[in-house]
Amino acid sequence: MMKKIAILWFVMVLAIAGCASSEVGNEREHGEKIQVTTTIGMINDIVKNIGGDHLETIGLMKSGVDPHLYKASQGDIKKLDNADMIFYNGLHLEGKMVDIFEKMAKDKPTVAVTKNIPEQELLSPADGSQGHDPHVWFNVKHWISAAETVEQELSKFDPDHSEDYQQNAEEYIKKLRELDEYVKKQISTIPEPFRVLVTAHDAFGYFGEAYGIKVMGLQGISTASEYGSKDVTELRDFLVGNKIKAVFVESSVPKKAIEAVIEGAKEKGHDVKIGGELFSDAMGEEGTEEGTYLGMVKHNVDTIVNALK
């Protein structure tokens, strides 16, 4: 009898302890979410998809913003200071923020989402400058690596919710795989001689390599470098010589450079049209389909295929 009471008492104590600990858990869930600050919209999109309700995210660089030239404002520094975690692209994309990331890394996880892409898969800049081409998101496979890195880092920081992060990542990566297939299929419908993508700056190197389209940019890998009249002439002659039908403007780069090429081709008797606007280093407006990574890539591919086919 005494034994039974003892067991009952023990069970009650356990139950009370259980309640208490679950209450603590609830408090945490209803209380502060993990604050994450990111740079480009494409990264913010990954973090939102994988973090779900456990996070609050702030993306510093909005639609139409050029990350190569972006300088952090005082307000941005505060958003980075207040964050629990920071995700950025790295590979010198955010060229003017490198020192800030170094400083932040002393206090909190400050993660380059590109860090796990094998170095041999990174491209050199087309203009022969040092380092690696940072525009990895245009090979969807590399962006899957970025998503995996975000999942691992979130799970490490917040192990209580790692199952959620893993499940969200799995679902998101499934969509990325489908996107990768879609891009491959669509680009292959362009007749081979016309598979040439001419843009204002060299953002599409990974895209060209992954999906089999020749890529030419007027400006180098970073918009911080100037284009010269020699670049305009070379590109013009290429367009005229190969009867390329269309060139593309970018939402985050001024259109004046590419317009000079079109004008030049016209003087040589070859009409080149603007095939449309591509999202290169920034996504579309928030709330639109192009304001997501999946929608942005799909928009680009559909625009390219429609103009070149």
Name the site residues for Zn ion (rule: CB under 5 A): 203, 281
Of residues 79 and 201, the one with the C-beta less far from Zn ion: 201
| Least Å from the CB of residue 169 to Zn ion | 26
| Least Å from the CB of residue 250 to Zn ion | 8
Rounded to whole angstroms, the Cα distance separating 203 from 59 reads 21
Of residues 165 and 279, the one with the C-beta less far from Zn ion: 279
Residue 39 tokens, joined: 């740079």
Distance of CA 84 to the CA centre of its chain: 20
| Least Å from the CB of residue 225 to Zn ion | 11
Q: Which of 292, 281, 288 is nearest to 46 (CA)?
A: 292
Encode burial over 262-274: b for 16+ CB neighbours within 10 A, e otherwise.
Answer: bebbeeeebebee
HEC string of 169-193 equals HHHHHHHHHHHHHHHHHHHCCCCHH
Of residues 76 and 281, the one with the C-beta less far from Zn ion: 281
Of residues 172 and 227, the one with the C-beta less far from Zn ion: 227
> CB–CB of 117/142 below 8 Å?
yes
Those residues whose C-beta lies under 8 Å from the C-beta of residue 15, and which sit 6 or more positions away, are none
Dihedral of CA atoms 296, 207, 225, 256 in degrees, nearest 10, equals -50
| Least Å from the CB of residue 32 to Zn ion | 35
Of residues 60 and 203, the one with the C-beta less far from Zn ion: 203
Residue 138 tokens, joined: 């245009």
> CB–CB of 269/244 below 8 Å?
no
Other beta carbons within 10 angstroms of residue 115's beta carbon come to: 12
Of residues 144 and 200, the one with the C-beta less far from Zn ion: 200
Cα diameter, the chain: 104
DSSP class of 250: E
| Least Å from the CB of residue 116 to Zn ion | 21
| Least Å from the CB of residue 31 to Zn ion | 39
Of residues 50 and 198, the one with the C-beta less far from Zn ion: 198
| Least Å from the CB of residue 284 to Zn ion | 16
